[in-house]
């Protein structure tokens, strides 16, 4: 039930902020802040509660579940559940949510109520995506987060906002609809096989799909997620969206929206279509590597600060793709780490870009330079973030990237070596960023404020988390371990017997049984009920 409350809280808070926005300009901010903080505290306490159990015994994969019939004619239910992965991403969502509210505290001066309405609804949509265990519901939330995001970019963005908003919306919508087709495909195939027409994720897990059909269905899912991630060559919406969005928009885009893509692959593509995923794995990894290098080179050539950061996201998301399709625990844990750390580090970079824009009224790198003199605090934070983004050990991103590469190395040596070379490029663009903005001769003679207290709090929380994740990431790893373990097991079996299934000549009864067994193990056998 707490899950429903979380979404309800955000949506309700949004509406309240919208209404209050008519009366008072600062009320919506406070409402939004309180709403998100409440959710955050709620989740955090639950997480801490859970982690105590986690340390002692291998917990159930599924921690909480809520189910209510929705459209019963189609077997659609309002079905939410969380496991470690979801929980982690939810915590991240609310954490960044708070920051998003804070970082737009001064930036947004117009239509504050509506702004916060959108902000909270995006968060609600994202939370929903992370919790939905019904494919229809998932798709529903998947789309719900788009519209407020569209408004956020389209209304509060900078000069070229409308173009960016369209592009964002059309890209994601197009790919989303293809996913809808795939969802329907699996729904009917499962239904006609078993007679049980349902969108329930757990029931669909065990379904048998002919390999060639599975391949196409998987592609349908993949397109949506890959566009969201985004992976080259589906990335071109991202630089525009990121650079035109307001700070909070960029933060949420980079920090959360992109993560839904990775989450989707982990949650749906791999468990639903293990065989097909195996089949495309080399290509997916190749795309990942291309993304890493292509994104990095593009990032290097940008002159727009936010565009530069956006392309670094493209590069970093390549690692995620690489890691996911390596199918082993190391890489998958790395992927999860990357989700979290990239969210924080790139989010922080965007916040910083927003602060710079507030002060300098430009995002053009060529107009910046030598800002260290006036803003040493920001400069230091920027260096730390740049280091995070180039994967300096001791910061969270390093662990993520290292684990991914380590895992991927097992799966594909040459691609991993190429990907590792991406680390060099990441150094090149990160240092260029620092050089252009903070070092060199000062080009701006007007006095510029360094961090205010609000900004210090914002930054400090992000920087501390990134350092914490770099030095002691175990809580994160523990939280998602059961989920990742199950995924890995699935692939071990699939790998062993997969070729038999793929060639489909003669399906040995024993291995098939094994596969199904593992698949069904992903289903909660005895869900803890934490419903209070």
Partner 1 sequence: MLGNNFIALSPLLLLAGSSVLIMLLIALKLSHRTIQFASLFLFVLAFSSLFYAHDLFSHPIEPLLIVDRFSLFIMGLIIFSGLIVNILSYIYFEEKEESPKEYYVLLFLCTLGACVLAVSKHFISLFLGLEILTVGLYGLIAYLRARHYNIEAGIKYLILAAFSSAFLLFGMALIYLQTGSMEFLTIGQSLHSLTSLPPLFLTGLGLMLVGIGFKLAVVPFHMWTADIYQGAPTPVTGFIATVSKGGVLAVLLRFFIEIDGFRFKTLMLILISIAVVSMIIGNLLALQQKNVKRILAYSSIAHLGYLLVALIPGSTMSLQSVCFYLVVYVITILTAFGILIILSTKENDADDIESYKGLFWKHPLLACIFSVALLSLAGIPLTAGFVGKFLILAANLQAGFWLTAFVLVISSVIGLYYYLRIISKMFSGRGGVLLKEKRAYPIFYLISVIVLLTLTLFIILFGTYPSGLMYFVAYFQFK
Partner 2 sequence: MMDHLLWLIPAFPLVGFILLALWGKHLSRFWTAIIGAGSVSLSAILTLFIGLNFLSSTPADGHYSQTLWTWFEVATFIPKITLYLDALSLVFVFVITFIGALIHIYSVAFMAADKDYARFFACMNLFVVSMLLLVLADNLLLLYLGWEGVGLCSYLLIGFWYENPSNGYAARKAFIITRIGDTAMAIGLFVLFYQFGTLSIPDILALTPTTWHEGATITTVTALLLLAGGVGKSAQLPLQTWLPDAMAGPSPVSALIHAATMVTAGVYLVARMHVIFQLSPIAQMVVAGIGAATLLIAGFSALTQYDIKRVLAYSTISQIGYMFLALGLGAWTAAIFHFMIHAFFKALLFLAAGAVIEALNHEHNMFRMGGLKSKLPVIFWTFLVGSASLAALPIISAGFYSKDQILWYAWASEHGNTTLWLIALFGAFLTAVYTTRMLLLTFWGDAKTAVSHYPSKLMTIPLAILAFFSLFAGFIELPHNFGHLTLFSDLLHQVLPETILKAGIHGELLFQLLAMLVTFGGIYMAYILWYRKPQLTEKLKQSAPLIHLYRFWFSGWGFDQVYQVLLVKPVVFIASINKNDVIDKFYQGIAILMVRLNRALSFTQSGSLRWYIIGLVVGAILILSIQVIL
3-state secondary structure of 442: coil
Strand pairing of 62-71 and 76-83? antiparallel
409 binds, among partner 2, partner 1, none (CB under 5 to 8 A by kind): partner 2
**Quick check: 111 binds partner 1 (CB under 8 A)?**
yes
Span 296-325, contacts to partner 1 by CB under 8 A = none
Beta bridge partners of 62: 83
Report phi then psi at 10, rounded to 5. Answer: -65, -45
| Site membership for partner 1, residue 196 (CB under 8 A) | no
* Positions in 215-274 near partner 1 (CB under 8 A): none
CB nearer partner 2, residue 12 or residue 440: 440
The interface region with partner 1, picked from 23-31, 136-144, 290-298, 333-341 by CB under 8 A, is: 136-144
- Binding-site size for partner 1 (CB under 8 A) equals 32
**Shorter beta-carbon distance to partner 1: residue 141 or 451:** 141
Give me the count of residues in the chain.
Answer: 532
CB of 332 to partner 2, least distance (A): 9
Q: Which does 151 bind (CB under 5 to 8 A by kind): partner 1, partner 2, none?
A: partner 1
| 130, 139, 319, 497: residue in contact with partner 1 (rule CB under 8 A) | 139
Applying CB under 8 A, among 32, 85, 99, 180 the residue interacting with partner 1 is: 180
Residue 321 CB contacts under 8 Å (≥ 6 apart), including other chains: 226, 229, 231, 284, 285, 287, 288, 291
Cβ 10 vs Cβ 123: under 8 Å: yes
Q: Does 72 bind partner 1 (CB under 8 A)?
A: yes
Between the alpha carbon of residue 461 and those of residues 156, 163, 253, 356, 453, the distances in Å are 25, 33, 19, 19, 12
Q: How far apart are CA 418 and CA 294, in angstroms?
A: 12
Angle between helix 453-471 and helix 396-411 axes, rounded to 10 deg: 40
Judged by CB under 8 A, does residue 25 bind partner 1?
A: no
Q: How far apart are CA 83 and CA 397, in angstroms?
A: 23
The answer to whether the CB of 411 falls within 8 A of the CB of 400 is: no
Assess 74 for contact with partner 1 (CB under 8 A). yes
| Among candidate residues 327, 314, 343, 341, the one with its CA nearest the CA of residue 269 | 327
User: Under the rule (CB under 8 A), what is the footprint of partner 2?
Assistant: 167, 232-233, 235-236, 239, 297-298, 300-303, 328-330, 333-334, 370, 372-373, 376, 380, 383, 387, 390, 392-394, 398-399, 402-403, 405-406, 409-410, 416-417, 420-421, 423-424, 427-428, 431-432, 435, 438-442, 471-474, 477
Q: Using omega within 30 degrees of 0 as the cis cutoff, is the peptide bond preceding 233 cis?
A: yes
d(CA 32, CA 42): 15
- Which option in partner 1, partner 2, none does residue 239 bind, with CB closer than 5 to 8 A by kind? partner 2
- Residues of this chain that bind partner 1 (CB under 8 A): 70-74, 111, 136, 139-140, 143-144, 146-147, 150-151, 154-155, 162, 165-166, 169-170, 173-174, 177-178, 180-181, 184-185, 187-188
């Amino acid at each position: 039930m707490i899950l429903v409350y979380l979404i309800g809280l955000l949506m309700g808070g949004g509406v309240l902020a919208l209404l209050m926005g008519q009366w008072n300009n600062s009320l919506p901010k406070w409402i939004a802040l309180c709403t998100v903080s409440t959710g955050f505290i709620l989740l955090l306490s639950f997480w801490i509660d859970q982690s105590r159990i986690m340390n002692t015994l291998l917990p159930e994969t599924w921690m909480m579940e809520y189910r209510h019939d929705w459209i019963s004619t189609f077997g659609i239910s309002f079905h939410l559940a969380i496991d470690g992965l979801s929980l982690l991403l939810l915590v991240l969502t609310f954490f960044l949510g708070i920051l998003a509210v804070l970082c737009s505290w001064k930036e947004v001066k117009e239509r504050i109520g509506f702004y916060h309405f959108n902000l909270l609804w995006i968060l609600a949509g994202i939370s929903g995506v992370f919790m939905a265990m019904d494919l229809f519901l998932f798709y529903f939330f998947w789309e719900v987060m788009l519209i407020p995001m569209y408004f956020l970019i389209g209304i509060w963005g900078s000069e070229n906002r409308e173009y960016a908003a369209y592009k964002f919306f059309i890209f994601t919508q197009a790919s989303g609809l293809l996913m809808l087709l795939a969802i329907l495909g699996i729904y009917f195939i499962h239904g006609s096989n078993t007679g049980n027409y349902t969108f329930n994720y757990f029931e669909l897990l065990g379904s048998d799909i002919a390999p060639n059909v599975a391949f196409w269905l998987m592609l349908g899912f993949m397109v949506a997620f890959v566009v969201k991630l985004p992976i080259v060559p589906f990335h071109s919406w991202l630089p525009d969206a990121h650079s035109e969005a307001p700070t909070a928009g960029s933060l949420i885009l980079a920090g959360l929206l992109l993560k839904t893509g990775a989450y989707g692959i982990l949650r749906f593509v791999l468990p639903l279509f293990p065989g097909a995923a195996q089949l495309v794995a080399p290509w997916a990894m190749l795309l990942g590597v291309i993304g890493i290098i292509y994104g990095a080179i593009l990032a290097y050539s940008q002159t727009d600060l936010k565009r530069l950061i956006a392309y670094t996201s493209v590069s970093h998301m390549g690692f995620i793709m690489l890691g996911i399709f390596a199918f082993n625990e190391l890489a998958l844990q790395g992927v999860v780490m990357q989700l979290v750390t990239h969210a924080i580090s790139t989010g922080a970079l965007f916040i910083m870009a927003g602060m710079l824009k507030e002060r300098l009224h430009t995002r053009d790198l060529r107009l910046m330079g030598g800002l260290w003199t006036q803003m040493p605090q920001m400069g230091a934070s920027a260096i730390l973030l740049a280091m995070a983004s180039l994967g300096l050990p001791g910061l969270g991103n390093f662990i993520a990237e290292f684990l991914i590469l380590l895992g991927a190395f097992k799966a594909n040596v040459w691609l991993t070596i190429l990907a590792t070379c991406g680390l060099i490029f990441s150094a090149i663009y990160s240092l260029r960023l620092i050089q252009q903005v903070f070092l060199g001769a000062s080009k701006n003679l007007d006095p510029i404020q360094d961090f205010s207290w609000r900004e210090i709090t914002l930054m400090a929380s992000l920087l501390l988390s990134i350092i914490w994740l770099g030095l002691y990431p175990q809580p994160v790893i523990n939280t998602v371990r059961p989920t990742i373990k199950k995924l890995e097991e699935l692939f071990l079996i699939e790998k062993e017997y997969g070729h038999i299934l793929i060639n489909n000549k003669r399906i040995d009864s024993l291995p098939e049984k094994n596969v199904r067994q593992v698949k069904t193990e992903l289903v909660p056998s005895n869900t803890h009920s934490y419903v209070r």
